[in-house]
């Protein structure tokens, strides 16, 4: 059974940093593109970033480029999102999701809240 379990969310001040993790199991993690997708409270889904199978290619939505870094450790079956210079508008549930042109498996999400 494919499982994606996010962790690392929490309350952080504007300008702060946070690192999210996603533990993958039930599939060959190193064979798939992976994504981070977020959803602000009461709002729609927004694709944030993705990474190819060996981590050599990464892509970002314009609003986070230069502040967020997606990475992976295939030996640990883990996906990461390092978030720096956080802003109020980054408040959201962050989901990790598998796939390139569509996402067939999603985690349950981890909530990141910006508050001073």
Partner 1 sequence: QSALTQPPSASGSPGQSVTISCTGTSSDVGGYNYVSWYQQHPGKAPKLIIYEVRKRPSGVPDRFSGSKSGNTASLTVSGVQAEDEADYYCSSYVGSYKYVFGTGTKVTVL
d(CA 16, CA 46): 21
φ, ψ of residue 74 to 5 degrees: the values are -65, -25
- Helix, strand or coil for residue 69? strand
Q: Which of these ranges, 18-26, 64-72, 77-85, 99-107, lies near partner 1 under the rule CB under 8 A?
A: 99-107
d(CA 59, CA 12): 25
CA 76 to chain centre: 16
Q: Which of these ranges, 8-16, 23-31, 72-80, 93-101, lies near partner 1 under the rule CB under 8 A?
A: 93-101
The reply to whether 27 sits near partner 1 by the rule CB under 8 A is no
Least gap, CB of 70 to partner 1 (angstroms)? 12
Specify the residue for token string 């290619």: 57
Q: Are 82 and 17 in contact (CB under 8 A)?
A: yes
Site for partner 1 in 70-89 (CB under 8 A): none
The reply to whether 46 sits near partner 1 by the rule CB under 8 A is yes
The reply to whether 103 sits near partner 1 by the rule CB under 8 A is yes
The reply to whether 68 sits near partner 1 by the rule CB under 8 A is no
Binding site for partner 1 (CB under 8 A): 33, 37, 44-47, 50, 52, 57, 59, 61-62, 95, 97, 100-109
């Amino acid at each position: 059974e494919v499982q994606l379990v996010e962790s690392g969310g929490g309350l952080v001040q504007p300008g702060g940093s946070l690192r999210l993790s996603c533990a993958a199991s039930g599939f060959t993690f190193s064979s798939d593109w992976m994504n981070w997708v977020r959803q602000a409270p009461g709002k729609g889904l927004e694709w944030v970033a993705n990474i190819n199978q060996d981590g050599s290619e990464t892509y970002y939505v314009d609003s986070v480029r230069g502040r967020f870094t997606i990475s992976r450790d295939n030996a640990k079956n883990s996906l990461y999102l390092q978030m720096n210079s956080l802003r109020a508008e980054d408040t959201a549930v962050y989901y990790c999701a598998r796939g390139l042109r569509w996402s067939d498996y999603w985690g349950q999400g981890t909530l990141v809240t910006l508050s001073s």
